[in-house]
């Protein structure tokens, strides 16, 4: 078992009922954990699956054309205000693999409001 898996397992095992495992800025915030019992009787705790929201749930406020040397953390810091929120760019642009967003120079990326937040009146 890798250190990361051990750490996650310890976190899941020690979580109190109803306690949040991740901060509000995490894509995993609000996900519940659950468990299963293996054939040998071990209890295995894990996070429930996170479903990527449909792109239609995001209001576009701007577009960014990918340039040479763009990085998702820098784009996230510039447009969202936090480099660790790069996953919001992924969700808004239907990217499963984050690096695919910046692989093609000239690609247009949607910069959006958080999921479900409507665009202000007069915005496109």
Q: 55-112, which class in CATH?
A: alpha beta
Which has the higher per-residue pLDDT, 14 or 35?
35
Question: Per residue in 38-60, pLDDT tens?
Answer: 999 999 998 898 888 888 889 99
CA 85 centroid distance within chain: 7
73: Cα separation from own chain's centroid: 13
Indicate the pTM of the whole model. 0.70
Query: In the numeric block, which tokens belong to residue 16?
Result: 């109190």
Beta bridge partners of 109: 64
Euclidean distance between CA atoms 73 and 40, whole angstroms: 43
With helix as H, strand as E and coil as C, how does 36-74 read? EECCCCCEEEEECCCCCCCHHHCCEEEEEECCCCCCHHH
**CATH 3.10.350 segments of the chain:** 55-112
Q: Rounded mean pLDDT of 21-44? A: 89
């Amino acid at each position: 078992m890798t250190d990361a898996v051990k750490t996650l397992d310890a976190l899941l095992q020690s979580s109190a009922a109803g306690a949040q495992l991740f901060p509000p800025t995490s894509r995993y915030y609000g996900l519940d954990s659950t468990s299963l019992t293996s054939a040998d009787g071990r209890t295995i705790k894990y996070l429930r699956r996170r479903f990527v929201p449909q792109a239609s749930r995001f209001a576009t406020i701007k577009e960014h054309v990918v340039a040479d040397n763009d990085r998702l953390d820098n784009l996230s810091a510039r447009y969202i205000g936090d480099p660790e929120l790069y996953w919001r760019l992924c969700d808004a642009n239907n990217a499963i693999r984050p690096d695919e967003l910046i692989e093609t120079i000239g690609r247009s990326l949607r910069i959006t409001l958080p999921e479900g937040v409507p665009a202000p009146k007069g915005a496109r």
